[in-house]
Amino acid sequence: MMAKYERQFYPGTSVPAKNRKRFIDPKVKLEKLREIAMDDVVKILGHRQPGEDYKSIHPPLEESNEPDCPIRQMVTPIEGAKKGDRIRYVQFTDSVYFAPIVPYCRSWMYMSRFRGVDTGCLSGRNIIEMRERDLEKLAKELIENETFDPAKVGIRGATVHGHACRLDENGLMFDAWQRYRFNAKKGEVEYVKDQVALPLDKPISVGKPADEKELKKRTTMFRADDVDMRDDKEVMNMNLRIHRLRTLAGFQPWAIKGV
**What DSSP string describes the chain?**
-PPPP-------SSHHHHHHHHHH-TTSPPPB-----HHHHHHHH-SS-TTPPPPBSS--GGG--PPP-HHHHHSPPPHHHHHTBPEEEEEEEE-TTT-SS-HHHHHHHHHHH-SS-EEEE-SSEEEEEEEHHHHHHHHHHHHHBTT--TTTEEE-SS----TTSPB-TTSPBP-TT--EEEETTTTEEEEEE-TT-PEEEEEEEEEPPPPHHHHHHH-----TTSS-GGG-HHHHHHHHHHHHHHHHHTT-GGGSS--
Right CATH for 15-227 from 3.40.50.620, 3.40.50.300, 3.40.50.10950, 3.90.320.20: 3.90.320.20
| Tens of pLDDT, residues 1-60 | 677 888 889 999 999 999 999 999 999 999 999 999 999 999 999 999 999 999 999 999
pTM: 0.91
Write down the pLDDT at residue 5: 84
pLDDT single digits (tens) 189-234: 999 999 999 999 999 999 999 999 999 999 999 999 999 999 999 9
All structural domains of the chain with their residue ranges: 15-227, 228-259
